[in-house]
Structures are given as C-alpha cells and as structure tokens.
Amino acid sequence: MRQIVARAHWLEQAGCGAIAIPCNTAHFWVGEIKRALSIDLIDVTEITAKKICDMKNDEIREFRSILLGTKATMQHSLYPQTNETSFGEGFVRCRKRLQREAIQIIADVKCGNTAKARAELEQLIHQIRSFAPDVIILGCSELSAISGDLADDDDVIDPISILAEACIDWWRKENEPVTQDRAGGE
C-alpha cells in the first residue's frame, strides 16, 4: 500500500487532478489511499457497483452475481456478492474450482499466454452461465484485458471499461466551460 500511495503522491505533485487505479485488488486499500490524497481517486469498485445498480434498476440486493478475480479480491468482497447457496449445491461444490481456473487465467495473462487465457475465459464464463447469474463481474484487470467482446454481453461486467468511462466523464466535467450556475453566480 505504501508504494501505491507514494506513486499517487508523485502523480498528484505532477499536477494530476484525479487518479484511477485499474487494479481491482489495490482497492482493498481505497480508504487509506483516498485519505492520503488531496485529489480525487476514481474508485473502480464504487463506480462498478453503481453501474450495476443503474443497469439492474437499483435491485442490486435482489440479483445474483458471481465475481471472478484474484484470491484477495474474492476474500475482501470488493464487489457486491450473492450468497453462494442461492446458486444451488452444484455451484457450492465447484466454486473453488471455478475460482482456481480464474486465478490460472490471470496467471496466463501475466505470462503473455493471452490467446490461451482468452479461450479459457470464454469456457469459464460458459460454465458460470449454467448457474444463471444476473451478472458475472470480471474483478481483475487481466481478465478485462482479454475479455474483448465477452464484455459486450449484458451479463458480463468489465470494471476497467467502466473505469475508463468514469475517467473520461471526470475529465469532461472538470473541463466544461464555467457557467453562471457552476461559478456560483445568479
């Protein structure tokens, strides 16, 4: 965490108006990072949860999601999660295997085996769809990097694409012409 804060301070001192961290796992420390900065930190977990709420008509507590990511991302529940028993005994029995497969896919991406990883991610998503989740969250930037058109499906959520959109929205908001209302005038 110290290295993340040190790099964030460097960006802040370089004149950045906001920081976005594409690593989902790093958001375990989002509170500490935000407190250490005087500029905005665009929180990928927060904006992804909001986007899911918006997509699902604010029924986030009533729908079923499956998160794929690193072991740390899974353990710290960085995204809204569903009680695994709501998917049935079959899911409960194979959840750990599915997570191991996701971790292996992440490792393959890090080693440059992206074609293999992409094919395995497609298979994994196909397996997960058999449990009929409302959404599958790609909770690791390595998964996002290889997701391609998989993330175009309504049930696959790509937090990194959502983060990119939020960064563009932040920039537009910060750079829009100052109007009387925004300047506090009448």
Measured distance CA(14)–CA(10) in Å, rounded: 6
Q: Report whether 122 contacts 150 (CB < 8 A).
A: yes
- Which CATH number characterizes residue 96's domain? 3.40.50.1860
Q: Tens of pLDDT along 22-31?
A: 999 999 899 9
Q: Is residue 15 part of a domain?
A: no
Q: Tens of pLDDT along 25-48?
A: 999 899 999 999 999 999 999 999
Burial of 170 (0-12, 13-18, 19+ CB in 10 A): middle
CA distances 164 to 39, 66, 93, 157, 179, Å, are 18, 22, 36, 13, 26
Q: Tens of pLDDT along 76-92?
A: 777 777 777 778 888 88
The model's pTM is 0.86
Beta-carbon contacts of residue 14 (< 8 Å; ≥ 6 apart): none
Beta-carbon contacts of residue 105 (< 8 Å; ≥ 6 apart): 117, 120, 121, 124, 142, 143, 146
Give the pLDDT mean for 156-180.
90
Give the pLDDT mean for 45-64.
78
Q: Which residues are registered as beta bridge partners of 20?
A: 42
Counted domains in the chain: 1
Measured distance CA(77)–CA(158) in Å, rounded: 16
Q: Is residue 58 part of a domain?
A: yes
Parent domain of 147: 44-174
Q: Residue 61: pLDDT band by 50, 70, 90 thresholds?
A: low
Q: Report whether 53 contacts 174 (CB < 8 A).
A: no
Q: pLDDT averaged over the chain? A: 88
